[in-house]
């Protein structure tokens, strides 16, 4: 039997709100949300603090609706540079324990802790990571431990904030089967509604063989079997650090056979180059905070100019407008042999949201997974602090 994996899913709790509290500690005692639009009370809630959540305020809710629930609600503007700073600190901290880390989003990581767990109990490691991040940076995390990425993710969601949960394959029937189907990671609101309409309300309903035919009327066969593999603990246990690698920049340039001269002609080339560049940005689900242009004259003098924005963008017209502004400011009508445009400070679009998209992993063949050999002493040594299929109460 192949080696059992021990996967940690480390999830920063209410990340944007936590960063806001780090910057402005008084917010810890306040009911607040992060989001809206700068200078107004419009827009939507990006992240709700736990005090706001207790009142029924949720991510995706309009600011107006949130204020109806709690008129004294404080609205904190988004601060992406701050989030990136603490995200970097978070991932660098985790690298102390293993290099096999998959960045699921700006605020979550999957860690293959199999090797180090042979020497140190997984729960001891989890507690050390949790306490270290809170003490050093003020970042609260919940940690799920399981034999697959999916089960580790499901475990981390069971207790927030500051939870530690172990979810073994043998515990799935007791822990997951009674859950509403919408609690399964990857089942979105629309899919949940479609399933509810045909009488599928719980995980137990979903896995019942007699419900398969009607489920396949609202879901593809691949999706159906993929969710079954996830639920039964047959999905991927492979932590691929390169899976979501983000390129540092995207650029496109053209070396010209003959020099071109004149603003309009140069702009036409820039416009064409920008289309290809922005298409790639969108295809990779990225947004950019910096736009740059590159010009090379006939005497091989190279000019590179850039402009950074407070908030990342993906809109072609806006990107072209910024590139055009740079062209107007820096082009002196010289003959050019090269024209280029670049986008940098790239961020995955999903990192700008509080929601996390399900990872797309190739499914492995079914195999028996038994965590007992690697964490058999967990219950004995930590049973008062952690329920192996439940949650740690702080």
Asked whether residue 375 is domain-assigned, the answer is no
Same domain, 259 and 338: yes
pLDDT at residue 166, rounded to an integer: 97
Cα separation, 5 vs 115, in Å, equals: 9
Nearest partner of 82 among 39, 139, 130, 132, judged by Cα: 139
Cα separation, 374 vs 125, in Å, equals: 13
Rg, Å, the chain Cα set? 25
The number of domains in the chain is 3
Same domain, 255 and 336: yes
| Residues of the chain above pLDDT 70, percent | 87
Residue spans of beta strands (DSSP E) within the chain: 7-12, 32-35, 45-48, 74-76, 101-105, 108-112, 141-146, 164-166, 249-260, 286-297, 302-313, 336-348
Asked whether residue 30 is domain-assigned, the answer is yes
Same domain, 315 and 254: yes
The pTM of this model reads 0.69
Could you tell me the strand order of the sheet in which 141-146 lies?
101-105, 108-112, 7-12, 141-146, 164-166
Same domain, 23 and 57: yes
Indicate the residue among 42, 63, 79 that finishes a domain: 79
Active site positions, annotated: 108
Tens of pLDDT along 44-94? 898 999 999 999 999 889 999 999 999 999 999 988 889 989 999 999 999
Asked whether residue 53 is domain-assigned, the answer is yes
Cα separation, 17 vs 140, in Å, equals: 11
In Å, the largest CA–CA distance within the chain is: 78
Same domain, 275 and 314: yes
Cα separation, 49 vs 17, in Å, equals: 6
Cα separation, 61 vs 54, in Å, equals: 14
Cα separation, 144 vs 129, in Å, equals: 12
Asked whether residue 64 is domain-assigned, the answer is yes
pLDDT at 274 over 90: yes
- Average confidence (pLDDT) over 83-110: 94
Same domain, 197 and 266: no
| Helix 80-94 vs helix 122-137: crossing angle, to nearest 10 | 140
Q: Are strands 32-35 and 45-48 parallel, antiparallel or unpaired?
A: antiparallel
Asked whether residue 366 is domain-assigned, the answer is no
CATH number at residue 321: 3.30.1490.100
* Lowest-confidence pick of 253-262, 277-286, 324-333: 253-262
- Average confidence (pLDDT) over 26-33: 97
User: For the stretch 37-49, what's the b/e string if a residue is b when 16 or more beta carbons lie within 10 angstroms of its beta carbon?
Assistant: eeeeeebbbbbbb
Asked whether residue 381 is domain-assigned, the answer is no
pLDDT at residue 44, rounded to an integer: 86
Find out whether 320 and 268 touch, Cβ atoms under 8 Å.
Answer: no
pLDDT at residue 37, rounded to an integer: 67
Tens of pLDDT along 117-168? 999 999 999 999 999 999 999 999 999 999 999 999 999 999 999 999 999 9
Indicate the residue among 215, 237, 259 that finishes a domain: 237
* Lowest-confidence pick of 22-36, 202-216, 360-374: 360-374
CATH number at residue 52: 3.40.1170.60
- Average confidence (pLDDT) over 373-388: 47
What are the two backbone dihedrals, phi and then psi, of residue 244, each rounded to the nearest 5 degrees? -110, 30
* Lowest-confidence pick of 43-47, 243-247, 271-275, 340-344: 243-247
| Helix 80-94 vs helix 15-23: crossing angle, to nearest 10 | 100
| Helix 263-283 vs helix 316-330: crossing angle, to nearest 10 | 140
Compute the half-sphere exposure of residue 114: CA atoms within 13 Å on the CB side of its CA: 16
Quote the domain boundaries for residue 275.
249-352
Per-chain mean pLDDT for the chain: 87
| Residues of the chain above pLDDT 90, percent | 71
pLDDT at residue 258, rounded to an integer: 82
pLDDT at residue 298, rounded to an integer: 85
Asked whether residue 112 is domain-assigned, the answer is no
Same domain, 225 and 254: no
Structure tokens at 360: 């797309």
Confidence of residue 256 (pLDDT cuts 50, 70, 90): confident
Same domain, 225 and 259: no
Q: Which residues pair with 45 in a beta bridge?
A: 35
pLDDT at residue 38, rounded to an integer: 56
pLDDT at residue 243, rounded to an integer: 75
Same domain, 261 and 231: no
Indicate the residue among 211, 237, 263 that finishes a domain: 237
pLDDT at 242 over 90: no
pLDDT at residue 378, rounded to an integer: 47
Q: How many CB atoms lie within 10 A of CB 381?
A: 12
Same domain, 218 and 255: no
Asked whether residue 201 is domain-assigned, the answer is yes
* Lowest-confidence pick of 26-40, 74-88, 315-329: 26-40
């Amino acid at each position: 039997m192949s080696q059992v994996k021990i996967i940690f899913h480390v999830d920063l709790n209410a990340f944007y709100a936590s960063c806001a509290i780090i910057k402005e500690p008084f917010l810890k005692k306040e009911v607040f949300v992060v989001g809206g639009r700068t200078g107004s009370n419009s827009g939507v809630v990006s992240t709700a603090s736990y005090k706001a959540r207790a009142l029924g305020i949720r991510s995706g809710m309009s600011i107006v609706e949130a204020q109806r629930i709690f008129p004294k609600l404080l609205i904190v503007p988004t601060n992406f540079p701050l989030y990136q700073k603490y995200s970097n600190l978070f991932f660098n901290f985790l690298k102390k324990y293993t290099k096999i880390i998959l960045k699921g989003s700006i605020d979550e990581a999957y860690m293959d802790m199999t090797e180090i767990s042979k020497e140190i109990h997984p729960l001891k490691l989890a507690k050390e990571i949790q306490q270290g991040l809170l003490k050093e940076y003020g970042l609260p995390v919940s940690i799920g431990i399981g034999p697959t990425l999916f089960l580790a993710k499901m475990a981390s969601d069971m207790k927030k904030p500051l939870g530690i949960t172990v979810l073994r394959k043998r515990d799935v029937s007791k822990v997951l089967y009674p859950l509403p189907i919408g609690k399964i990671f990857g089942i979105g609101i629309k899919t949940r509604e479609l399933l509810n309409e045909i009488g599928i309300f719980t995980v137990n309903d979903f896995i019942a063989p007699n419900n398969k035919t009607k489920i396949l009327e609202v879901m593809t066969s691949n999706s159906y079997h993929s969710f079954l593999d996830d639920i039964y603990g047959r999905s991927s246990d492979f932590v691929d650090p390169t899976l979501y690698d983000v390129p540092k920049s995207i650029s496109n340039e053209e070396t010209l056979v003959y020099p071109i001269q004149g603003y309009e002609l140069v702009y036409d080339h820039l416009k064409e180059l920008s289309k290809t560049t922005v298409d790639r940005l969108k295809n990779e689900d990225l947004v950019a905070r910096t736009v740059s242009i590159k010009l090379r004259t006939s005497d091989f003098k190279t000019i590179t100019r850039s402009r950074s924005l407070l908030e990342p963008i993906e809109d072609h017209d806006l990107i072209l407008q910024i590139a055009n502004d740079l062209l107007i400011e820096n082009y002196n009508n010289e003959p050019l042999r090269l024209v280029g445009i670049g986008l940098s400070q790239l961020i995955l679009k999903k990192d700008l949201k509080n929601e996390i998209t399900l990872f797309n992993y190739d499914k492995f063949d079914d195999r028996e997974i038994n965590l007992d050999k690697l964490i058999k002493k967990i219950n004995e040594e930590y049973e008062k602090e952690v329920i192996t299929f439940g949650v740690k109460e702080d």
